[in-house]
Homo-oligomer: A and B are copies of this chain.
Amino acid sequence: MDRRIPVDDRTGHPTVPETTRRADRLSGTRYGNRPTMKDVAARAGVGLKTVSRVVNGEPGVTPETERRVQEAIDALGFRRNDSARVLRKGRTASIGLVLEDLADPFYGPLSRAVEDVARAHGSLLINGSSAEDPDREQELVLALCARRVDGLVVIPAGDDHRYLEPELKAGVATVFVDRPAGKIDADVVLSDNYGGARSGVAHLIAHGHRRIGFVGDMPRIHTAAERLRGYRAAMEDAGIPVEESWMSLGVTDPERVRRAAEDMLCGPRPVTAIFSGNNRVTVTVIRVLAEHARRVALVGFDDIELADLLQPGVTVVAQDAAALGRTAAERLFRQLDGTPAAPERIELPTRLITRGSGELPPAD
């Protein structure tokens, strides 16, 4: 073009006149501008089948012809349409990942691990949040199936997955993570929630505590229920009767958790230690305890960043989120490889990391 091209003062970049670009984009059908294999064939002066061989890396093309075709491809900016192609071969080279909340730092390493495994198998990852809503989980899972993902890694929000049976029958590989599927038989990879919580509470008991509070997520969530079960088991092992006021399960919103923790900490016989059921709860409980006059011990389920730098450092029962994601994704691709295997429950151990807060004696 020989007309003067205006330059954006701020960036120093040329500003392409709006009308030219938008006209380009909006003319014709949405994909009407895309060069086709026919265009490539015409430009290279070869037949369509020859172009197809080059694009698909099939034999039967001389180096000279291949060079001409590649030149035409580059000159036209031809890009193979993988959506149409994969449909014909039966696999889409994509897997779906449904988790609770993309914004929760716990799911970061899990997602990344699933992605790394998918990538190693040449698959793309489609990601979505259920926001702990069973209806949204189902909507998202079915939307992914409608797009023919080869497999699904699902952190379930609901407790009834029979809606997935037609998909499983049609061959969609599925692995559940963090919580088991409801009412169907399927692979699940999760942490030892019960055992981990039990050892965390036993740790507090071993340091002299008897009045121990439990603040956890909504009781219908498998992990919350299992961790409560572990708490109860540890208390029972030590012969300590549990008071109802010591247990609070509900949404992990800071307001609800704060009220629950404050309630347990006030009154004539307050708790001397708290076990917090997951990373979201722990963060709020840490804040409440920081404002509290008396010293209160704390063990949290899930590690959190900077936990070691707080005064005192936070004692946690840590999961390995990356290992959960990696194990689930590897299981998924073994299913896709056709390796016959009955559905399995794979439980990964937790780790108690003592940093100070869980070893504080009761301030009696």
- Residues of chain A touching chain B, judged by Cβ–Cβ distance below 8 Å, are 8, 10-11, 13-16, 18-19, 22, 24-26, 29-31, 33-35, 77-84, 87, 90-92, 94, 101-105, 107-109, 111-112, 115, 124-129, 142-148, 165-171, 180, 185, 283, 286-287, 290, 304-307, 309-311, 322, 338, 340-343, 345
Contact = CB atoms under 8 A, between A and B. Distances in A.
Given A26-B338, A128-B125, A170-B31, A305 B105 contact: yes
B129 A169 contact: no
Contacts of A101: 112
Number of copies of this protein chain within its complex: 2
Contacts of A80: 146
A311 B109 CA distance: 28
A32 to B, nearest CB: 9
A310 B305 contact: no
A310 to B, nearest CB: 6
Given A109-B103, A144-B124, A305-B305, A340 B18 contact: yes
Given A108-B104, A340-B18, A169 B25 contact: yes
Contacts of A22: 340
A103 B112 contact: yes
A310 B102 CA distance: 26
A50 to B, nearest CB: 21
Nearest to A148: B83
A38 to B, nearest CB: 16
B143 A345 contact: no
A146 B112 contact: no
A103 B111 contact: yes
6 contacts: A24-B169, A31-B148, A33-B171, A80-B146, A102-B127, A125-B127
A8 B165 CA distance: 19
